[in-house]
Structure formats: C-alpha cells, structure tokens
Amino acid sequence: MEGKKILLGVSGSIAAYKAAFVIRNFVKAGAEVRVIMTPSATEFISPLTLATLSKKKVYSTYIGHADEGTWNNHVDLGIWADVMLIAPATANTLAKMNTGITDNFLQAVYLSARCPVVICPAMDLDMYQHESTQKNMSDLKKRGHLFIDSEYGELASGLEGKGRMAEPEHIHQFFEEYWNSELPLINQKWLITAGPTHEPIDPVRFIGNHSSGKMGVALALEAANQGAKVELISGPGTPTVNHKNIHQVYVQSAQNMFEATVPLFSDSHVAILAAAVADYTPAKVAHKKIKKKAGDFQIELEPTQDILKYLGTLKSAQKLVGFALETNNEIENAKKKIKSKNLDLVVLNSLQDKGAGFGHDTNKITLIDAQNKLTKFELKTKAEVAADIINSIQKL
C-alpha cells in the first residue's frame, strides 16, 4: 500500500466514526489519504479528527475559508487519486452517485474521478433492502464500481440485520488483496538460498567464507514485494528479514542447507541459489574441542552435495538460477556451469570488479542465459541488482 493515493469520501451516517480507523490503517501502511466529507458527515465526526489522522486538510465545501478567498479544486482531487473509496456511503449518496446530482463537494469530486471507485454502503436494514437502493447499487456495479458489502449485525436503530458498514479491518484487507492482485509475481512460490555455510570442525570451530547473505536477502525482498511467497534458506549471519511474504529458515552447514532446500523445490516456480555453499566439509567432526599439539595439523575434507546441481537433475517446469563468483576466465566458467548444472540463468560476478562480491552493499553482474546470451549491468546497489535479476527471470 506504500505510496498509494486514496481519496476517501465520507457521507453522513453514524458509521462515519469508522472512517477514523480506515484512515489510520491506510496511513500506517504508507498510503496517502485525502478526505472529503459531505456537510452532514461533519455532524457525525469532526473534520479535525480526520485531518489529524490523515495529516492533510479535509475538504467539505467548494469554497475554502471565506477569509482565504480560495476554492477547493474538485477536478485536481479526482485526477490525483489512485482509488476513490466512499465509506460510509449512505442511501442518499448512492442515489446521487447513480444520478449524477452534484449538490455537494464529494459528488463533484466523484464525477471528476478517473480512478476506480470502491463503495462501502452503510444504512439501516430496510433502507438497504429497498428496491431503489438495490437498483442504485446494481447500476453502480454495472458502471464498474466495486463494493465492499455491508455486514450483518446490530444497527444504530437497535434493529438487527444487514446494512452496517464493513469493519475497517475488512476494508483494509480488501485493499491489500486488491493491490496484491496487480503484483507481477502473485501466486508464485520462490525458493532462495543466501549467505555462507559453516562446516563444523569441532564444537567451537568451523570452515566458513565471507558471504554476508545481503544479495540473497535483496532478492528475497524484491520477489516478496512483487507478490511472490518466498522461502529464504539462510546461512549463519544472513540478515533477518521481516516481510509477510518471506519465510526465513536458518541453517548451518551445506548438508543442513541441502536438507532444507531440496524438499521445497518441487513446489517452487523459481529457485535462486545465491548462497556461498562450502564445496568441502570436514570428513569427521570432533565431538570435543581439539587440543593444540606440537607439529602440523591436518583436516581431511570430503565434498559436500552440490545443491544447485542436484536441483538441476530434479528440474521440470521450474526456473533454476545459480550464481558464479569467478576470478578469471569468468564468462567461460559461468557458461560451463549453465550446462553442467542444467540452469536457466547464471548470475556472474567477478572479484576483479571493484564493489562486487562479498560484503559490499553493491554488486556488478553479468547475466548469462541457457542460450548463452550475455547481459552486462553497471555497478548498482544490491537492491537494484536484485530487481534486474528478477526482471530477467520474468522474461525467461
């Protein structure tokens, strides 16, 4: 909802008090809200309350304060909005919207709005059921307006039935889903690995590497912001993310990462393996701390499972993306990886490039696809690089 421009029209119903909660939820979620009240709505809740919550002037008349000598521009407001929400919408307001009567500022803005319109009716049960109200709502639906229907319950009249305005949290949920459905990666599951692995030598020592996990996290955030549900398998020290679309799991060793990643692959649309997984691990892990002795000390290492290569053997409809960090013969080595690991795309970063690779907040990448097509990018922040990678995956 971040940055969305919402025009909230409040008409004269006891449910006008709920507008305060609607505004607060939108503002908390990062949206910009401008409020228009009908003159009778101002009898139910103070414009000052709604102005304070929206942090903006509230409009209810065509003319500003008489001493200001200004008028409120209904056309500008109508054009400004991404969406117009009428909540509460009384039977009277619905009738005026349907017939185009413009006897208040809210109706003038409504007629000027080019954006989608969402309506939350609020009235007593008999008014709601009345043929004229039903006809107005049906006509407005045919015009393409969306409704968040009234709810059932106790009404201000003391009667019980359908007519009360939808609860603010239901309205908020509607908009979350409404905007989510526009996101390009909605209904997709992405699997991302990030960070280093720690291969244990004994209870206090391990073999690790300099990976910070920042690139994997940037990819997870970008995919999640574009609507994907992300499983983020993170090595030690990877930053913790807090995003409703990201499920983050921490692992230690290459074997742990293998066990956490492989079962999730069959259900994923895309897997990006950005982790710097150890290629070798100690053949034996000492259960007690190894004591210092005179002379040399050797650790026998054995290969780890190559997770990316293993997923390549399981691949069906998924898109599989790997990373290659090279110091020399970069392009040739990366091309070999595409074939040997059955990848759709490889993200190459060279340690020869300043600002690329481990630990930095920036990266400089070249993407190579399965047809050996190369796309080179400038040095950018890891968030920008993540967006480039994800856009390229979408094109595959």
Binding span for ligand CTP by CB under 6 A among 32-40, 90-98, 301-309, 354-362: 301-309
Decide if residue 345 touches ligand CTP (CB under 6 A).
Answer: no
In the complex, what is the shortest distance from the CB of residue 258 to ligand CTP, in angstroms, rounded to a whole number?
Answer: 7
Binding span for ligand CTP by CB under 6 A among 141-149, 220-228, 234-242, 318-326: 318-326
DSSP-derived pairing of the beta strands 362-363 and 301-303:
unpaired
Member of 50, 166, 324, 338 binding ligand CTP (CB under 6 A): 324
Nearer to ligand CTP, 112 or 193 (CB): 193
Cis peptide before 88 (omega within 30 of 0): yes
Determine the Cα–Cα distance for residues 366 and 264; give it in Å rounded to an integer: 27
Among the listed residues 72, 73, 92, 209, the single catalytic one is: 209
Binding span for ligand CTP by CB under 6 A among 12-20, 144-152, 217-225, 299-307: 299-307
* One character per residue 258-287, x = contact with ligand CTP (rule: CB under 6 A): ---------------x-x-x-x--------
The pair of structure tokens assigned to 259 is: 């066990």
In the complex, what is the shortest distance from the CB of residue 364 to ligand CTP, in angstroms, rounded to a whole number?
Answer: 17
Decide if residue 216 touches ligand CTP (CB under 6 A).
Answer: no
Decide if residue 368 touches ligand CTP (CB under 6 A).
Answer: no
Cα–Cα distances (Å) from 273 to 118, 208, 213, 336, 351, in that order, read 42, 17, 11, 17, 18
Decide if residue 322 touches ligand CTP (CB under 6 A).
Answer: yes
Strands annotated E in 165-244: 189-194, 199-202, 205-207, 229-234
- Other CB atoms within a 10 A radius of the CB of residue 273 amount to 26
Determine the Cα–Cα distance for residues 112 and 185; give it in Å rounded to an integer: 33
Member of 44, 323, 338, 344 binding ligand CTP (CB under 6 A): 323
Chain centre to alpha carbon of residue 145: 25
In the complex, what is the shortest distance from the CB of residue 356 to ligand CTP, in angstroms, rounded to a whole number?
Answer: 14
180 is catalytic: no
Query: Cβ distance 106 to 38 under 8 Å?
Result: yes
In the complex, what is the shortest distance from the CB of residue 242 to ligand CTP, in angstroms, rounded to a whole number?
Answer: 24
Decide if residue 238 touches ligand CTP (CB under 6 A).
Answer: no
Q: Please report the DSSP string for 112-164 in residue order.
A: H--S-EEEEE---HHHHHSHHHHHHHHHHHHTT-EE---EEEE-TTS-EEEEE
**Secondary structure letter of residue 302 according to DSSP:** E
In the complex, what is the shortest distance from the CB of residue 308 to ligand CTP, in angstroms, rounded to a whole number?
Answer: 4
Determine the Cα–Cα distance for residues 227 and 224; give it in Å rounded to an integer: 5
Decide if residue 356 touches ligand CTP (CB under 6 A).
Answer: no
Nearer to ligand CTP, 165 or 308 (CB): 308
Determine the Cα–Cα distance for residues 179 and 22; give it in Å rounded to an integer: 16
Determine the Cα–Cα distance for residues 158 and 156; give it in Å rounded to an integer: 5
Footprint of ligand CTP on 187-206 (CB under 6 A): 193
In the complex, what is the shortest distance from the CB of residue 254 to ligand CTP, in angstroms, rounded to a whole number?
Answer: 5
Member of 58, 308, 320, 389 binding ligand CTP (CB under 6 A): 308
Member of 337, 369, 386, 390 binding ligand CTP (CB under 6 A): 337
Member of 106, 166, 325, 368 binding ligand CTP (CB under 6 A): 325
Nearer to ligand CTP, 51 or 207 (CB): 207
Chain centre to alpha carbon of residue 56: 26
Nearer to ligand CTP, 228 or 307 (CB): 307
DSSP-derived pairing of the beta strands 199-202 and 205-207:
antiparallel
Decide if residue 389 touches ligand CTP (CB under 6 A).
Answer: no
In the complex, what is the shortest distance from the CB of residue 201 to ligand CTP, in angstroms, rounded to a whole number?
Answer: 18
> Which residue(s) pair with 97 in the sheet?
none
Decide if residue 172 touches ligand CTP (CB under 6 A).
Answer: no
Sequence-separated (6 or more) residues with CB below 8 Å from residue 207: 198, 199, 201, 278, 280, 281, 282, 299
Nearer to ligand CTP, 221 or 321 (CB): 321
Footprint on this chain of ligand CTP (rule: CB under 6 A): 193, 254, 273, 275, 277, 279, 304, 306-308, 322-325, 337
Residues with catalytic roles: 209
